[in-house]
Amino acid sequence: MREIKVSAQDRPVKAPPKVRKKKAAGSKKQRKQTVSSPRFFSVFHSVGRFFAGLRNLSVSLLSMGRKTPKQGRKGKRRGAPNGLRKYGVPALLLLTVMLPIGGLGYYIVQNSVIERTTAWISETTNALVTSSGLTVQEVTVAGRERTSTRDMMKALGVARGDNILTFNPEEARRRVESLGWVEHASVMRRFPDEVFIRVTERRPFARWQSNNKTVVIDRKGAVVSTRDSKEFRYLPKVVGKEANMDAAALFDVLAGSPELFTRLQNAVRIRGRRWNLEFDNGVSVFLPEEHAAQAWQRLARMHDEEAILNKAVLSIDMRSAQKMYVRLKSDDADFRRVAANAGKET
């Protein structure tokens, strides 16, 4: 078959476009065209862009301080510094909170609000307490003999008319027990207006001389009076560093021979190890470091048999368990030496 060829002149010609007739306004098809017009879409597009901008702004605020992947040098945009992105919002919030607090604190300090409030509360409380009769009107002390009234009231720290509710019995008890003569004390409030104190005083036991100062001590070695008055001169005296702590043990031993004990004038502590006893006639007895009680009993027997302390003796050294060394006065020693030599010649 012969091939069919189409020449340029045989190409189909396009039909002219049909012209649509305008329909009357108000028809359904025209209303649809009006709704879908480009101007109406532009309004929606503007509103959408506005809300999209708000969303992007919130996301950017929340993501401040987060590290984002680096962009190329060509498309990189310079933003805020890393420190500002990381600490800007927290610092702003902290500043917003602290400014009112700082202003309030400045106002309180400048106007002495706390002091004035405290003073007002105190005055109001005192007025209420006074009107109700809860003030100290009487102080009763039981068991006091040697403690002075002035020292007792100073230690209590209370005066007539004080608020009894603010009085602290425990603190007052500690202050009272710090007084020299007071060994134990109890302090209590008796409502509505009385403070009651019961004390147990120490008993004077000996006099203690240390650093050229003599004080009065009790059996436990506690200082009860810093004045060496005449009324305590009958007490035996211990001398030396820390001699007050060992006086009771020594005197318990010496009390076994009351006759000699009453003649004791001083008991000198030697290096914290032993005692030298000084009697009223000037005789000194050196007790040993160990077995002092046995040495004291031996001395008592010798005095009962020979009245050794009444003789011309300067000192008796009893530090040896087997022997006793007696030192005589110089005149008596010379007399005995002459008598002994005369006996040898005859």
Instruction: Please compute the mean of the pLDDT values over residues 254-268 and round it to a whole number.
Output: 94
- Averaged pLDDT for residues 221-231: 92
- Token code pair at residue 70: 């680096």
Tokens of 338: 């002459």
What is the end-to-end Cα distance of the chain in Å, rounded?
200
Residue 81 confidence class, pLDDT cut points 50, 70, 90: low
pLDDT at 13: 52
Phi and psi at residue 337, to the nearest 5°: -70, -40
Contact call for residues 291 and 274 (beta carbons, < 8 A): no
pLDDT at 69 over 90: no
Pull the structure tokens for residue 156.
């209590």
As a whole number of angstroms, the distance between CA 88 and CA 92 comes to 6
Over residues 212-230, the mean pLDDT reads 93
Please report, rounded to a whole number, the percentage of residues in the chain having pLDDT higher than 90: 49
Assign 182 a pLDDT band (cuts: 50, 70, 90).
very high
Give pLDDT, residue 46: 58
Q: Is the CA virtual torsion 39, 45, 49, 51 positive or negative?
A: positive
Arithmetic mean of pLDDT, 189-199:
94
Look at 18-22, 128-132, 198-202, 274-278 and tell me which has the smallest mean pLDDT: 18-22
Q: pLDDT tens digits for 144-163?
A: 999 999 999 999 999 998 98
Q: Parallel, antiparallel, or unpaired for β 213-217 and 223-225?
A: antiparallel
Residue partners of 184: CB distance under 8 A and separation at least 6: 177, 199, 200
Is the predicted pLDDT of residue 194 greater than 50, yes or no? yes
| Average pLDDT of span 85-90 | 63
Answer for the pair 183, 176: CB distance below 8 angstroms, yes or no.
no
Which is more confident, 157 or 31?
A: 157
Would the pLDDT of 1 be above 50? no
Lowest mean pLDDT, pick from 116-125, 126-135, 173-182, 329-338: 329-338
CA proximity to 129, closest of 164, 158, 169:
164
Q: Which helix (H) or strand (E) holds 297?
A: helix 292-306
Cα separation, 169 vs 149, in Å, equals 18
Which of 246, 253, 294, 251 lies closest to 272, judged by CA?
A: 246
Bigger pLDDT: 339 or 280?
A: 280
- Provide the pLDDT confidence category of residue 40 given band limits of 50, 70 and 90: very low
Mean pLDDT of the chain: 78
Predicted confidence (pLDDT) at residue 42 exceeds the cutoff of 70: no
319 Cβ contact partners less than 8 Å away, ≥ 6 residues apart: 274, 286, 287, 288, 289
Q: With cut-offs at 50, 70 and 90, classify the pLDDT of residue 340.
A: very low
Identify the pLDDT of residue 335: 43
Q: How far is Cα 44 from Cα 35, in angstroms, rounded to an integer?
A: 12
**Which one-letter DSSP state was computed for residue 308?**
G
* pLDDT greater than 60 at residue 176: yes
CA-to-CA distance for 122 and 96, rounded, in angstroms? 36
User: pLDDT exceeding 70 applies to what percent of the chain?
Assistant: 66
What is the distance, to the nearest Å, from the Cα of residue 51 to the centroid of all Cα atoms in its chain?
64
pLDDT at 337: 54
Please say if the pLDDT value at position 83 is more than 60: no
Q: How confident is the model at residue 241 (pLDDT cuts 50, 70, 90)?
A: very high
Across 129-151, average pLDDT: 88
d(C-alpha 238, C-alpha 123), whole Å: 56
- Write down the pLDDT at residue 312: 87
How far apart are alpha carbons 120 and 327 in whole angstroms?
82
Q: Which of 11, 31, 13 is nearest to 23 (CA)?
A: 31
Assigned token pair, 154: 């100073």
Strand, coil or helix: 332 = helix
pLDDT at residue 129 tops 60: yes
How much is the pTM?
0.59
Question: What pLDDT is stored for residue 11 in this prediction?
Answer: 53
Q: Burial, 218: exposed, middle or buried (Cβ in 10 Å; 0-12, 13-18, 19+)? A: buried
